[in-house]
Amino acid sequence: MISGMTMMPIDYLEGTAAAALLEDAGFRAEWRQLHARVPEASGFQTPGFALAWYRSYAADWRPVLLLQRAADGTLAALWPLAHDGDGALVHAGQHQAEYHGWLCLPELEAGFVAAAWRCLCARLSFVSLRFKYLRSARAAALLRDAIGADRVLARGCPRPLMRLDAAEIAASAAKKSNKSRFNRLKKLGELSFRRITDIAELERIFDELIRYYDFRQSAINQTAPFREDPHKRAFHLAQFALAGDQLCVTASYLDQQPIAAFWGTLSGKTVHLGMLISSPFLAEHSPGKLHLMQLSDYLVRQGVEMLDLTPGGDAWKERFANSHDEVFDLMLYRQAGARRSAVAKQVIAARLKAGLGQVGITPAQVRAWRDRLSRINVGSIRRKLQSRRDFTREYRVYRAERSLVDALAADGQVRVNAIDDLLCFEPGESWQSRDAYLSSALERLEAGTQAYTICVDGQLAHSGWMSRQSASYMTEVKQQIELPEGSVTLYDFYSHPDWRGRGYYRLTLSRMLRDAFASPATQYAYIMVLADNGPSRHVIEKLGFAFQAAYFLERRGGQERTWRQPA
C-alpha cells in the first residue's frame, strides 16, 4: 500500500514481448493517459516518439519495458528502455531524445524507481544507464535516495532558454537591421513562413534540409548526423507520422524552396529545439536568425511560453537566450565500483586538460594533431624540412577571356555547390584534415564563393573554387595582385591521389569558364599556379589561358625578398 493505492508487482518485458505490447493500440492509449497525469513528462516520453524510435532502430536495439499497474489495472508507471544485447542499456530515443526519464504518478515514484532498478539489475547485463538530460534537481535527488548516492554521478549543465514575450518579439522585428534583412530576401523572390503539417510536404523538402544540416554540423562539430546514421531520416519521418501533434516543424521558403527550418518537440507550453537549419548560400541574409524570429512570433501566438534552446554550449544559443536554468547529465551505475572508476577517469582527464590549457593547447588541437600523425609519412617530413631551407619560388598568373568559351564543351560530371559532394571529402595527404576542409568550405559558400566538384564512387575526386574578386593575396609568394573590374578567380584545386590523371582538372576548368562568362559582368578569369607544377600548367596553357606575369619569393640566409616579372 503506497499513499492509499495498492500496487501490483513490476512487470518486466523485453524483446518480442515488449515489441508486441508497443504495437498494441490499447496499451498506447493507456500510455497517453499516464503521460497526461505526470507533471514533469516531456514530449520525448510519448508513445508516438518511442514507437517511432523503436521501429526505426529495431535492428540495433531491442525494447525493454518496466511497468507497474494499480490493483484495478490502471497503468501507474512506465520506464521505456532499450538494450543492444551486448551490455549497453539506453533510454528509448537514446541521444535523439533530448531528455530522459520515467513516467510515474508522483506519489508512487520513489518506490517504482527503486523496484524497477532492482528488476533491471536482476534481469539484464549492463554497466550503466545515462540520463542526458534529466530535467529536474528533484528527480536527481530521488535517484540518489532510491538507488544510492554511491551509484549516481551527476553533473549540472546550464540550459539556455528563450522566454517568449510578445512585446520583446515585436521590438526585435521592428529593428532596422532585421527589417533590412527581410527586405533584401524579399527582393530575391517570394518569402514565406509556415508550419509543416503534411508529411508529403516534409518529404519534398527534407533531403535538402538534411544536406544543409549535415554540412554545417560537419564543418562546426565534426559530425554529419544523418550521413553517419542510416536510420535517422526514417526515424524523423516516422516520428512526424506517429507523433506529429507533439512536434513543431516550420520552414522558411524562398520561391517555394526551403532556406531555413526548425524541428522541435512540444512539452506542454515549452518547445524543445531539435534542429535549426539554414542554407549556407544565403548566409549574408541570416536566414536562420530570421526564421527563429518568425518562429518566436508564431509560438507566442499559439500560447507557447518558452523555447528551450537545450544544453550544449553553442555560442549562437547564448545570443538568443534571455534566461537559464539547470538540467543534469546523470549516470546510474550498477555497481559502486564502476562509479568510482568513472570519477577517477574524470579527475585524470580534467588534470590533463588543465595542463594542456596552461600551455595554450586545446582538446581540438590534440585531435587534429592525432589525425595528422596517423597519415604522416617520411616523404612529407623530408619535403617540409626542405621547404624551410633557402629557396626561390615562382608563382605564375594566367588570364582567360570570353573568346575561350566557344571551344569548351560542357560535362555533367562537374557539379556546382553540391553539398553532397563536399561531404564526400576524405583526406588524401598527410597535411589535410576533413574538419579543416569542411570548415573552409562552409565559410567560402557563406561568402558567396562557388564550389565545383566531381564525385566518383562516393568519394570527392576533384574540387575547385571560383570567386569574384578585385584583389587576390598569393600566400605562396606573399604578394597581392590587383585585378581589373569584372574579374573572377579560379583557385584551390585539389585532386584526390586515387583519381589523378583522369582529366578532371580540365573538365572542372572548362565548366568554370563557361559559368563565369555566362554572366555579362565577367570580363576576365584568373588562375595562379606554381611554376614547378608542370601538370597543372600544361592543362592551363592548353586550354588557352594567357600568361600575364610571374611573382617571386626568395629566401637566402633567413632573409626574404619578393618581386614581379611581367610576361
Compute the distance between CA of residue 154 and CA of residue 137 in angstroms, rounded to an integer. 10
Q: Given the C-alpha cell 640566409, which residue does it identify?
A: 557
Decide: residue 51, CB within 10 A, 0-12 exposed, 13-18 middle, 19+ buried.
buried
**CB-based contact 295:277 (threshold 8 Å):** no
Residues in the chain predicted with pLDDT less than 70, given as ranges, are: 1-4, 354, 357-359, 362-388
Residue 411: its pLDDT value, please? 82
Q: How far apart are CA 353 and CA 54, in angstroms?
A: 38
First to last CA, the chain: 97
Tell me the DSSP string of 369-410: HHHHHTT--HHHHHHHHHHTSSEEEEEEEEEEEGGGGGGPPP
Q: Name the nearest CA neighbour of 388 among 560, 154, 534.
A: 560
Give pLDDT, residue 194. Answer: 98
Show the cell assigned to 156.
549540472
Q: Cell numbers for 55, please give them.
A: 521501429
Between the alpha carbon of residue 487 and those of residues 44, 312, 361, 398, 521, the distances in Å are 53, 43, 41, 12, 8
Domain residue spans in the chain?
11-126, 165-304, 385-566
Task: Please state which architecture CATH assigns to domain 165-304.
Answer: 3-Layer(aba) Sandwich (3.40)
In three state form, how does the secondary structure of 220-239 look? HHCCCHHHHCCCHHHHHHHH
Q: How many CB atoms lie within 10 A of CB 1?
A: 7
Cα–Cα distance measured from residue 52 to residue 246, given in angstroms and rounded to the nearest whole number: 13
Contact in structure between 90 and 81 (CB atoms under 8 Å): yes
Going along 92-241, which residue ranges are E strands?
103-104, 128-134, 152-163, 191-195
CB 89 within 8 A of CB 128: yes
C-alpha cell at 54: 523503436
CATH architecture of 11-126: 3-Layer(aba) Sandwich (3.40)
- Cell numbers for 191, please give them: 518569402
Question: Which amino acid is located at 84 in the chain?
Answer: D
Q: Rounded to whole angstroms, how far apart are CA atoms 107 and 76?
A: 10
For position 2, what pLDDT does the model report?
45
Q: Which residues of 225-241 are buried (b: 16+ CB within 10 A; e: fewer)?
A: bbbebebbbebbbbbbe
Distance of CA 169 to the CA centre of its chain: 27
CB 265 within 8 A of CB 43: yes
Contact in structure between 135 and 42 (CB atoms under 8 Å): yes
Instruction: Check residue 105 and report its DSSP letter.
Output: -
Longest dimension (CA), the chain: 97
Query: Which residues partner with 251 through β-bridges?
Result: 194, 261
Residues in the chain: 567
Instruction: Give the integer Cα–Cα distance in Å for 209 and 318.
Output: 24
Q: Walk across the sheet containing 323-333 and list its strands.
A: 128-134, 323-333, 152-163, 306-308, 270-278, 257-267, 247-254, 191-195
Q: Which fold has domain 385-566?
A: Aminopeptidase (3.40.630)
Paired residues of 530 in beta bridges: 395
AA identity, residue 338? A
Pairing between β-strand 459-468 and β-strand 306-308 as defined by DSSP bridges: unpaired
Q: Assess whether the region 11-126 and the region 165-304 belong to the same CATH fold.
A: yes
Q: All 3 cell numbers of residue 184?
A: 533584401
Per the CB < 8 A criterion, the answer to whether 226 and 210 are in contact is: yes
Asked whether the beta carbons of 96 and 53 are under 8 A apart, the reply is yes
Q: How far apart are CA 356 and CA 104, in angstroms?
A: 45
What is the C-alpha to C-alpha distance for residues 167 and 176, in angstroms, rounded to an integer?
16
In the prediction, which pLDDT does 7 show? 87
Scanning the structure block, which residue is given the C-alpha cell 532556406?
259
Cis before 133 (ω within 30): yes
Within a 10 A sphere around the Cβ of 476, how many other Cβ atoms?
Answer: 13
Q: What pLDDT is recorded for position 342?
A: 86
DSSP string, 15-39: THHHHHHHT-HHHHHHHHHHHHH-T
The angle formed by the CA atoms of residues 361, 366 and 370, to the nearest 5 degrees, is 155
Residues 185 and 285: beta-carbon distance below 8 Å: yes
Residue 444 CB: number of other CB atoms within 10 A?
17
**487-495 and 524-530 beta bridge pairing:** parallel
pTM assigned to the model: 0.90
| Residue 95: all three cell numbers together | 541521444
The Cα–Cα gap between 364 and 372 comes to: 12
Cell (9 digits) for 38 = 505526470
pLDDT for 367 equals 58
